Structure 1
Amino acid sequence: MFTVSTKHRAVRAELLLTLLLALLPLTSVQALQSDRNQPLYVNADSFKAEQNNHIAHLYGNVQIQQGSLNGTANQGVTYMNQHGHIVRIVLVGTPAHLNQKLNNGGIMQARAQTIDYNVTRDTATLTGQAVVIQPGQGRFEGYRLVYNTQTGSVTGNSDGKGRVHLIFQAKSNKNTAPAKPVSPHPALTGTTHRNGGSH
């Protein structure tokens, strides 16, 4: 589900501290801005509400949906304001998943041990083995990543736990003619190559 094609050459960068990806061109991978105007649906096998704290604990097959934005987890917690509107959802799984349709027709795929979706700020904070994949842009990995559900931008940092990894998809040149297959030399056909020897 989260496999990235290896047909294109990838450039990998590793940063020790904070990595800011907001400056990357996002016009081709921008999230659907209409999602924020859609109703938010939350489903689970069971729940336990704390009315005084405006909190509801969700258990089993937790699912959220807001337009094209979909999330799944084993457990979750919803936080509501004084008007009873959900302002924040925390998804916990092994891992939890979040998907969203992009304006280029692709699907953003994300996963982490914990996904903290802030409805009012349009951000999803992924913590613990976090991965975000954007078709046409690349793959981002780190301990903590923040995905903006409005713009599609991604920021990340290691929080002292390993490094942040990026794999950018190289742009293919459609004008370049495909390389012709190389026929083996008759003298090499059927021979065995061994390591070592003089050069």
Structure 2
Amino acid sequence: MKETENKVVTPFMAPAELKARQAKALQSSEDIHVGPNTQLSGGFTTNGMMIVDGRVDDGDITADRLVVSHIGTLDGKAVVYRAEISGVFSGELLASDEVIVRPTARLSGNVQCQRLVIHRGARIECTFSCTPEPGQEGVSSAQEPATEKLVERRKSARQLEDRKIFLAGVGSVLAAFGVLALLAGLKVLLT
């Protein structure tokens, strides 16, 4: 993690708790790396990155970033700021920012995040819950009136089309009556 990136695990925290964690993160941030051909289980906490190239069973992870490489497997729960899954993840993933699911990923369980990126080829069997970023709540509500206007225009266009069809039908009926009246008048004149 770069020095300029002072990001901390912040899954949906109150501002006071967030500031306390950020201050603690400035003091230390060490990465944890589970190497290839390594199998571990249990809880891991770091203000840095958790990199899984091996296997973690029944994991309880708290980290700034989680990276499960294409040869890594993680089974358990992870609470992180950002996650990138290229290998196998099974369990519950809570990310206060972004989750990136790479093409080689196999994901199962529950994922809760603010932003989600899924690459083509990833195999997914889980439920997602994506909450908007604090600044994007206004964007969604700003888009709603535009959506409502579009729906209203389509509804008006549909009603106009229905009226045209109705009037065409009425016109056809009147034309038929007009032809019948004309024929009846001609019959009277000819007799």
Higher strand share: 1
Higher helix share: 2
TM-score, normalised with respect to structure 1: 0.26
Q: Relative contact order (C-alpha < 8 Å, sep 6+): which is higher?
A: 1
**Rg (Cα) greater in structure:** 2
TM-score, normalised with respect to structure 2: 0.27
